[in-house]
Each structure stands twice: as structure tokens, then as C-alpha cells.
Chain A
Amino acid sequence: MIPDGIRADFPILSEVCYLDSAATSLSPEPVLAAMAEFEHVYRANVGRGVHRLAQVASQKFWDAHQKMRRFLGAGEGELVFTRNTTEAINLVALGLPWRKGDRVVTTLLEHHSNLLPWMRLRDRAGIDLAMVAPSAEGILDPGDFEEAITPGTRLVAITHASNVLGNLVPVREIAAICHEQGALLLVDGAQSVPHLPVDVRDLSCDFLCFSGHKMLGPTGTGVLWMRRPEIEPLMLGGGAVEAVTAAGYTLAAGPARYEGGTPNIAGAIGLARAVEYLEALGMGEVRRHEQALTRRMLDGLAGIGGVTVHGPGAGEGRIGVVSFTVAGMHPHDVAKILDEEADIMVRSGHHCCMPLMTRLGLPDGTVRASLHCYSSAEDVDRLIAAVGEIAGGR
């Protein structure tokens, strides 16, 4: 059970009905307090100073990496803090040594952040880019990957859960195909890591990319986990090196080589606190809570005439991201009315997934309501009632 009392940790919830957690989640008070403590008590740069504030800040920053590793079951590999999922994916796309003709397989279900880096490589480095298309419900068939992942495929880049339709992707099955063919697997966990137990050992991927700000952490935080840190760092500079002479340099060991320049220290500390907050709730509980609310939302929306829900039905195969359209209305208009008339915050439009929208025949996109641990049955009921009024008034 997720206790009702946690809503008090998110003051915005007393003002509005927040159903846009897939875009960014809210940060609870302990996360804000941890960041304020850094500013008030030990603000200093990391890895460079010997004075005690620098020591404390450096250790807190190091410890934030350790906490995130434990959260992901990442005993092995390297974990690097980034600004967001987008930066994490780009680090891989720009850090691997590509050869002309290297094959990369991705899908039409992807967020632009997991498409554009590969499209640029196609255009500039001459890689062979294949995109597996999902069904009309957004479901990806592992059989299609059997065909698409050919011997010699260099990398497969897939999302773990759709940010539009909410469906979970069969990552483990796809991982097995990747292993058979010797391809690397990159998983975009932006919509999964914040909402369900995710263990890198279980996922069997080579790269896991996700955002801190969708998992109760501050904006401007993200993570790249690599099974083997074999990519070239994107940025070189202060903090990324062990030693420098006029003739050359030796890169630092550990995550530092990928985190050149002063990092988002307060952000990392806040993110670590968010991890502790989620661990205290239990990711299994977060998952169950959101599943129950998702079922309630899907049932409620299904009963409204003129409303079409896009994506799979309730169950194990989806997360709390629900896309719908109201007949005859532009999704932006629906979202605007929900805000103005009912104080409900939802996302509308193409959700950074224009190829998917084309595939689904939804050029204007959808309205998307998305949940997190702090969402309540009252939030869901309020949405259903408001959408009912909007659709009924047509």
C-alpha cells in the first residue's frame, strides 16, 4: 500500500490534479530538503578540494552514484550521471566507434530521443538503420526482431515502455535475440525505471538510459548505465582526467571520465534522495498502486461515448500512461479545457513520437494522462468526470 499521507510531501497536489508524471514527476519535500542542505550546509565543488565542504560534497556525489547502483542492482558496469535520458542515449550514439554500414535496429514506438541520435548517424556516418513497426495497439512482436536483428547488427535501441501508449516492451526476449546475434542492446528506461522494479541483471541490456526527473528527482538529472564502459566520453575537461602533460592525458577511472566539468551536484544529491524515497515506498508497491489506478482510469474512460483509448487494456503489460482522444476535438483543446475547467494537468499532442502518431493515424496526437506514486483514485475520478463533461458537451 502507498500511504495517502505521502501526498503531503508534494505541495503542488493541494493546488492541482497532476496527471502529467510521464513528462516530469513531482519532487517530494525530502528531495528538496536534501538539495537545500547542499546549498545551506556544504556547497562546494566535487573531486577537487581538500577542505571539508569539498570532501563532504564529493562523498555525497559519489554516494549518489552508489545509491543509484543499488537501486538498479548494478553491482557491475559503470553508472554515469547525465542531464536526462536524451543525453544518455546521445552519449552512446556519439561514443561508440561506428563504421559505415553498421546496422542499428530501433522501433517506430520510440521517443524522438531514441530515434534522432540514430537517424543522425544514418545521415552522417552511413549506418544502416532499421525501424521495427508496432501494431496499431503499439505492440512490438519479438518475431519481427528475429528478422530485423541480423548477424552483425551492431546495436538495438528500444524503449522499455511506450511514453504514449503505456505498453511494456518484451525487452528480455529482444535481449536474447541480441545476444544470439552479438548485438549490443540499449534500453530507454525513461518510463519504466520510475514506475516498476527494474534490475539491470534481469534486463540483460548493455546500456540503460533514464531520467531522474521522472522518478521524483530534480530536473536536469539522468543516468547512463553501461555494462562495459567502452564508449568514448563526449566531453573532456576538468575532472575527467587522472593526469595531463603537454604531450597527452590519462582519463580518470570510473564515472568521472564521462562527467567532465562541474556536474549538477545538487541534482545528483536530490536524485539519490528520490531513490531512497522510492525504496522506502517499495517499487513493487508503486507498481501495484499505479496498476490499480490505471485500471480505474481505463474502465472510466471506456464508459464515455466519443472517447477512444489508444493502447493496451489494463494488466501486467502496461504502465500508468493512458492516451485517449475525444471525437471531434483537438487534443490540445481537451488538455486546455481540463486545465481551465478542472485544474487537471495532462499532456497533449505527439509526445515527441511523431513517427508513431503517423503509424497510428493520429496526426494531432492524443491526450495523455499519466500517474505516479502520489496519484490518487480521486485524481482519476476527477479526470473521468471532466472528460465525461467535455465529451458529453459535444
Chain B
Amino acid sequence: MYRDLPCTRIGPEGAREATDPVVEETPVTITVNGRQVATAMVSPVDLEEFATGFLFTEGIIKGTGEIDSIQVDQMSVKVITKNLLRVVGPRRTILSGCGGSSSFLDPAKLPKVTSSFTVPAQEISRHMKDLMESDIHRLTGGVHVVGLMGAGGEIARTLDIGRHNALDRVIGHALVHGIDLGQAYVLSSGRISSEMARKCLVAGIPLVASRGATTTLAVSLAEKNGLTVIGFVRAGGMTVYTNPDRVTQG
């Protein structure tokens, strides 16, 4: 996840040689039926879950039942679908996310989330605080942390250099373990971009909350498709931008 690298620290007392923990970033290639689908810059952990979540939130697979085989081979994840003739097409939308990422999904055709799931505001605050205290997050200051929460508390937690990767990984975890995403919500250390909102919608996740901000496009997608978007979850407070009925108080 990270390596201690040599560095020079410069402060009021001058410069000194030191080491500092730096987060690992690795290109990972995903192929489907022998064709390259994407290369993502990720933290090199739980690649099978990451690829599963990625293929799902990109609409390339509808569930783990479509996967015949998944092989992690060094820095590539090779997936074979049950329908071997399936070829992933070149339809891509270039997104504004980090690394010039792109998507196979048509933003005009996102599914609507109708889950009646609710969660108390205090719980969101409590879990967010807990998430932000993650060791590596604090140690390196350079990773995003994303948690998947359910009625019974935390389901999965992951760290990654990219918040989209982290989100894909927890969604992949849920798919692999058969968890109902309609009764779960996502907490993120990073901004809720339209891509984050879009991935939640595709996965059927009803609520996403961040310690940071959101964007106008994310809010408009969320409004249109029934996702609850919450920003600035800090010090017991939060800003609910869309579908506030899912957040209870008391």
C-alpha cells in the first residue's frame, strides 16, 4: 500500500535527510475476453474486487454471475465472461476525473434508485469520523478512503489513490459477497464527482456521503435518479443536497 522513501525535510531549523511513507500507485490493466478494456492507476490491493466493481459500475457486466474466470496476473486482471463472444465496444465518455478517465456508460441512461433505505444522521457522522482515523490515511495523507456501510455498521473499507477506484473496490466486494447494495450506503473521504454519483446509481446504492464537497453535475444526476448526496460531513454536521428523506434525525 505504501513504501518508506528517502526525502529531505525542510523546516524552520533547516534541511535534514529523512524517510517518509509514500502511497504506491500502479497501473493495472483489465482485459475482458482477451481484449483490453481499461488501464487504471490504482493502489495495488484487492485487484479482483476492484476489477469486479469496475466492470459492474461501467455496465460491462450485470453481476458476478456473468464472470466465468477472473485471474490476477501481476499487474493485470484478466476476466472471461460466460458469453465468450462478448466484445466490449469502443463507446466511451471522457470524464473529467483524475487521469483523464473515461466511461462506457451513457449518462443519459442511468438507472433510478428507489430504495426506501434510511439512516440516522448521527450514524453517518460517527462512521465518517471512524473512517477518517484509518491508519494509512493518517500516515500518508495521500489516499482516499471509502467505506461501505449497512444497517449493521461497516461492511467494507478500502483505501486507494483514487476515490473512484476505492468505490469500485467496495462495490466489487459487495458483489463477490452477495451483499444487497440497495440497503447500503457509501462514505468517502473525497469529493463526490458525477462519476462517483454515477457508479452509486449503477450499483443501486441509495446514499453517498463525503467529508468533502460535491459538484453541480453530481447533484443534478442524483436529483434526476433518486440518489442522496451529502457533503461536508464534519464535526457532527453535514450538507444534504438531494433526497434528504433518507437521512433521519432524532
Contact = CB atoms under 8 A, between A and B. Distances in A.
Interface stretch (B14-22, B29-37, B143-151, B154-162): B29-37
Contact of B78 (A42, A53, A55): A55
B235 interface: no
Interface residues of B, number: 11
A59 B78 contact: yes
Interface residues of A, number: 14
A62 interface: yes
B84 A42 contact: yes
Nearest to B71: A59
Contacts of B85: 41
B61 interface: no
A71 to B, nearest CB: 15
A62 B85 CA distance: 19
The main secondary structure of chain A at its interface with chain B is helix
Interface string A138-156: 0000000000000000000
A56 interface: yes
Nearest to B33: A56
Nearest to B69: A63
A17 B211 CA distance: 70
Contacts of A39: none
B38 interface: no
Given A37-B84, A59-B78, A63-B80, A51 B69 contact: no
Nearest to A57: B34
Contact of B69 (A41, A42, A53, A60): A60
B33 A52 contact: yes
A51 B34 contact: yes
A53 B34 contact: yes
Contacts of B34: 42, 51-56
Contact of B71 (A37, A42, A54, A63): A63
Q: Which of A41, A54, A55, A59: most chain B Cβ within 10 A?
A: A59
B84 A52 contact: no
Interface string B55-98: 00000000000001101000000101000110000000000000
A60 B34 CA distance: 11
Q: Which of A51, A52, A56, A62: most chain B Cβ within 10 A?
A: A56
Contacts of A52: 33-35
Interface string A39-79: 00110000000011111100110110010000000000000
A59 B84 CA distance: 12
Contacts of A54: 34
Contacts of B35: 52
A53 B68 CA distance: 15
A56 B33 CA distance: 6
A134 to B, nearest CB: 43
A254 to B, nearest CB: 11
Contacts of A59: 69, 71, 78, 80
A60 B31 CA distance: 14
Nearest to A44: B34
Nearest to A40: B84
A303 to B, nearest CB: 49
Contacts of B78: 55, 59
Q: Which of B33, B34, B35, B85: most chain A Cβ within 10 A?
A: B34
A55 to B, nearest CB: 4
A62 B71 contact: yes
Contacts of B80: 56, 59-60, 63
Nearest to B78: A59
B51 to A, nearest CB: 13
A66 B71 CA distance: 10
A144 B25 CA distance: 61
Nearest to A67: B69
Contacts of B69: 59-60, 62-63, 66
A52 B31 CA distance: 10
A252 B54 CA distance: 32
Contact of B31 (A41, A42, A55, A63): A55
Given A51-B34, A52-B33, A55-B31, A41 B68 contact: no
A60 B33 CA distance: 10
A37 B68 CA distance: 14
B71 A56 contact: no
B71 A41 contact: no
A37 B80 CA distance: 13
A63 B71 CA distance: 8
A63 B78 CA distance: 11
Nearest to A42: B84
A25 B84 CA distance: 28
A51 B80 CA distance: 14
B229 to A, nearest CB: 39
Contacts of B84: 37, 41-42, 56
A55 B78 CA distance: 9
A63 B33 contact: no
A52 to B, nearest CB: 3
A22 B216 CA distance: 69
A346 to B, nearest CB: 38
A63 B85 CA distance: 18
A284 B158 CA distance: 38
Interface string A93-106: 00000000000000
Interface of A: 37, 41-42, 51-56, 59-60, 62-63, 66
26 contacts: A41-B84, A41-B85, A42-B34, A42-B84, A52-B33, A52-B35, A54-B34, A55-B31, A55-B34, A55-B78, A56-B33, A56-B34, A56-B80, A56-B84, A59-B69, A59-B71, A59-B80, A60-B68, A60-B69, A60-B80, A62-B69, A63-B68, A63-B69, A63-B71, A63-B80, A66-B69
Given A51-B34, A56-B84, 10 more contacts: A41-B84, A52-B33, A52-B34, A53-B34, A54-B34, A55-B34, A56-B80, A60-B69, A62-B69, A66-B69
List 4 A-B pairs, minimum CB-CB distance, nearest first. A52-B34, A55-B34, A63-B69, A56-B34
